[in-house]
Amino acid sequence: MRTATIERNTRETRIRVTVNLDGGGEYSISTGIGFLDHMLEQLSRHSLIDLEVEAKGDLHIDFHHTNEDTAITIGEAVSQALGDRAGITRYGDARIPMDETLTRVTLDVSNRPYLIWRVEFTGPKLGEMDTELFKEWFQAFAQAAGITLHVENIYGENNHHIIESCYKGLARALRQAIEIDPRKSDTVPSTKGVLGGSL
């Protein structure tokens, strides 16, 4: 089983994350940020990654530290669970419609982190969460997980639909990319024999 548990404790946050990459999309999530909990539930359910998140942060200041540190910890857990990434399909792509919204997420589990973020919102908040924090979450996750991640909202009007389609797109693309390729289950998917470093 490809599993990992990561704890991150700072003066700003205390976070514990457990992932099972070969799960069924079961989750137990508590960050203190209701909308973020909802998005992480979508991530788990649609990626089929079992996800446990327990986060306590300085929410009396704002949501920034808890949001970012949760993404870092989940990303580190995914990276650790992947190990040397042997046997994975490596690439994933998803187009997610949600009513009037269409979003495309494409990724490479390359151990070379990079984020392209082409998502705009028409309002500063969703619930109590600043919409600018979503880019920070995806950036921190991509960096910690070692993923080249492209997120593009092709069109949409409702901010809730836009960001939820981003998380669902990440989930579906990640599900594809981390699946074990039965034709090359013991081989790192790179001509270099290792993922990461230079192209």
**DSSP structure string for 75-116:** HHHHHHHHTT-TTB--EEEEEEEETTEEEEEEEE-SS--EEE
Give the amino acid at 106.
T
Domains of the chain (ranges, CATH numbers): 3-178 (3.30.230.40)
Nearby residues of 193 by Cβ (< 8 Å), 6 or more positions away = none
Q: What is the pTM of this model?
A: 0.93
Tell me the C-alpha distance between 30 and 36, whole Å.
Answer: 9
131-183 pLDDT, tens digit each: 999 999 999 999 999 999 999 999 999 999 999 999 999 999 999 999 998 87
User: Which secondary-structure segment (H or E) carries 132?
Assistant: helix 132-145
Burial call 109-119: b when 16+ CB within 10 Å, e when fewer: bbbebebebeb
The answer to whether residues 46 and 64 touch, using CB atoms and an 8 Å cutoff, is no
What sign has the CA pseudo-torsion 161, 123, 137, 19?
A: negative
pLDDT per position as a tens digit, 12-63: 999 999 999 999 999 999 999 999 999 999 999 999 999 999 999 999 999 9
Measured distance CA(27)–CA(54) in Å, rounded:
11
